[in-house]
Amino acid sequence: MSDRDVTQSLAMTQSRTTGPFMGSVWLLVAVVAALPLFWDGFGFLGTSWLSPEYSHGPVIPILSTIIFLREVRQLPEATGPIRDRWPGLLIVTLGLALALFGNLTNIPDIIAYALIIWIGGLVLAGFGLRRGWIFWPSVLHLVFMLPLPNFVYWQMTIQLQLVSSELGVAFLQLLNIPVYLEGNVIDLGLYKLQVAEACSGLRYLFPILSFSYVFCVLYNGPKWHKAVLLLAAAPITILMNSFRIGMIGVLVDRAGIDQAEGFLHFFEGWIIFGACVAILFLMAILMQRLQKNPKPISQALDLDFHEIGAHVAPVLRISGSIWLVLTGLVTVAITSLWLITPPVEPAQIKRDPFVFFPLKFEAWEGQTEILTPEIEQVLDADDYIQVTYQQTKDPGAVGFFSAFYRSQSKGSAIHSPRVCLPGGGWEIFEIRPVVIDLSAEIGWTPFTVNRAIIQRELSQQVVYYWFEQRGQRLTNDFMAKFMAVIDAYRFGRTDGALVRFTSPVLNGETVEDADRRIMALLEETLPHFPTYLPE
C-alpha cells in the first residue's frame, strides 16, 4: 500500500470518528448499551417513587432536562478540537463499575446512585471538561430523585419526629393547652396523638428541597441569596410541619380525635406544602428589596422558556472523538460482562423460626409477646421474637427481643435501638461498648456489645444490643450495612438480625443488678443462637 493510500485510509478513519454527528452516535450507543446494566436501578426508583416520601421523584428528571436545555444556551462555542473529554470517560467507567457491583451484590440502591455518576460522565465526555462543567446544576439536581439508604432514612425520620413533636407541643403550650410529651406521643389528657413517621416532615422536606434548588438555579441574584434560599428550605419545612402538628393538636383538643384523621390531615398537609413554597418566594422578594437596585420577582427569576426545544440541536451535533468511541466501547464491554456473568444464586439460609426458641431454662421462664400491627409494619422483619423472662426468686425481669431479616439488599433494614428508643420516650443516659466474656461458662469467644442505660421519668433500664450478621457481632449500624454489602458479593448473603436484652433497675437496685440479670440470661440463651441466627 502506497503512502497516499495510507494517508487516505487514516483520513477516512478520522472522518468516521470525528464527524459532526459521530459523537452523538457513540453517546447513543453508550446509552442503549447501558440500559441492561441499570435496569434494576430503574425498577428500584419506580418502586420507591410509589411511597409518599419520594412521590416527587418522577418530576425530577423532567426538571433536570429543562434545566439542562436552558444551560445549553450558555454553552461556549468550541473553537477547535475538544481535547479534555478523557475525564468524562473515567467518570463513566466509575459509574459503570459501581452499577456492575450493585448488580453482582443484588443491591439496587447502588445501581441507582451509580446512574447519576454515569450521567455526569456522559455529559463531560460529550462536551469536554471545560465546556461540560456548566451543566453541573442539572446533573446534581438528579440526586433529589434518589431514595435515601434505609438506615439513613430511619435515623432522619426518628430525629425529625422528635423535633416536630417538641415544637408542636411548644406551640400548644403557647396557646395554654395542657399537654405532655412522652417521646413521640402528645398527651392531651383525653386524647393521645402518636406522631408517626408519616408526620416526620420527610414527605415535605424532599420536594421542598428540590423546589428550593430549582428556585436557586433560576434566581438571578447574588450567590449569598441563593445560599440563604437553599439553606432555609429545611428549617422552614420542619417549622411548618411542627406548626401543622400543633394545629392538629388544637383541633383534637377542641373537637375530638377524628380531626386528626382523614381528609383534614391530608388537606392540612397540602396547605403546609404551599405555605413553605410561599415563604421561599417571600424571602426572595425581601432580599431583592434590600438590594440597591431591586428587581421585581418576575425579573429576578429567569423564567424564559421560549423556544427551549431549539436548544436540542447542539446536543445532536456533538463532534466525534476517540474518547467518545472508547466511552461507547467501554459501556458495551462492561454491560456484556454483566450479561454473560452467571447470576449469583442466593445462599440457602437454614434456620429454625423463632417460634421454637426455648422459653424455659433451668432458672428462667419466659412469656412471649406480640407486637402491634403498626409496629410490625414499621419493623418489616421476616421473623421476630419478644420474650420476657423471669427468675423464680428475682422480681426483676429480662426482655429478649430479636428481629431477623433474610435480606437487607432491597429496602429492608435493621432499626437501631439508638434511633428507636427516643421515639418511645426513653432518654439514652449513657451508652458505651462492653465486652461479653462467657468463654469459661459456655466456651464462646468474647465479643463486644452496646450497653446503654435509658431513663424515662424515674424509670431506668439497662439495654444490651448488637447486630448479629452471618457469625459476626457488630455494634455499629453503619458497619453492619457495609459488611452486608461486602458479604453480598462474597457469599451472596445479606441476612442479619438485631439482638437486644433489657432489664429494669428496680427500687433499691443499682444498674449492676440489672447487668447481672442480663448476663445470667445471656449464658442460657446464647448457645441456642446459631439455630435461629445462622452463621
Quick: pLDDT tens for 428-472: 778 899 999 988 878 788 999 999 988 877 788 999 999 998 888
The distance in angstroms from the start CA to the end CA of the chain is: 68
The answer to which of 164-173, 239-248, 338-347 has the lowest mean pLDDT is 338-347
At residue 201, does pLDDT exceed 70?
A: no
Average pLDDT over residues 183-200: 63
Question: Is residue 271 classed as helix, strand or coil in its secondary structure?
Answer: helix
Q: What are the grid coordinates assigned to 13, written together?
A: 478513519
Radius of gyration of the chain, Cα coordinates, nearest whole angstrom: 29
Longest Cα separation, the chain: 103
Count of CB atoms situated within 10 Å of the CB of 83: 11
Name the residue with higher pLDDT: 345 or 82.
82
pLDDT at 198: 47
What does each C-alpha distance from 382 to 148, 301, 355, 506, 531 come to in angstroms?
A: 22, 51, 12, 34, 16
Is pLDDT above 80 for 65?
yes
Q: Name the band, by pLDDT with cuts 50, 70 and 90, for residue 11.
A: very low
Residue 354 has pLDDT above 80, yes or no: yes
Task: Please tell me the predicted confidence (pLDDT) of residue 526.
Answer: 92
What's the one-letter identity of residue 63?
L
Q: Supply the DSSP string of 451-504, one letter for each residue.
A: EEEEEETTEEEEEEEEEEETTEEES-HHHHHHHHHHHHHHHS---EEEEEEEEE
Torsion of CA 457, 461, 466, 467, to 10 degrees: -60
Joined together, the cell numbers standing for residue 525 give 440463651
As a whole number, mean pLDDT of residues 133-162 equals: 83
> Of 213, 227, 236, which Cα lies nearest the Cα of 287?
227
> What pLDDT is stored for residue 12 in this prediction?
44
Which run of H or E residues covers position 366? strand 364-368
Closest CA to 366 of 384, 388, 385: 388
Query: For the segment 30-62, what is each residue's pLDDT rounded down to a tens digit?
Result: 999 999 999 999 999 998 898 877 888 899 999
Highest mean pLDDT among 239-248, 265-274, 361-370, 403-412: 361-370
Residues 111, 99 contacting (CB under 8 angstroms):
yes
pLDDT at residue 386, as a whole number: 94
Q: How confident is the model at residue 261 (pLDDT cuts 50, 70, 90)?
A: low
Q: Are 253 and 188 in contact (CB under 8 A)?
A: yes
pLDDT for position 13 = 43
pTM: 0.75
- In the chain, the amino acid numbered 183 is G
For residue 266, the model assigns a pLDDT of 58
Q: Is the pLDDT of residue 113 over 90?
A: yes
Judged on CB neighbours under 10 Å (0-12, 13-18, 19+), 509 is middle
Cβ-count burial 250-270 (b if 16+ within 10 Å, e if not):
bbbbeeeeebbeeeeeeebbe
More confident residue, 195 or 461: 461
Average pLDDT over residues 201-223: 82
pLDDT tens per residue across span 376-402: 887 888 899 999 999 887 788 999 999
Average pLDDT, the chain: 82
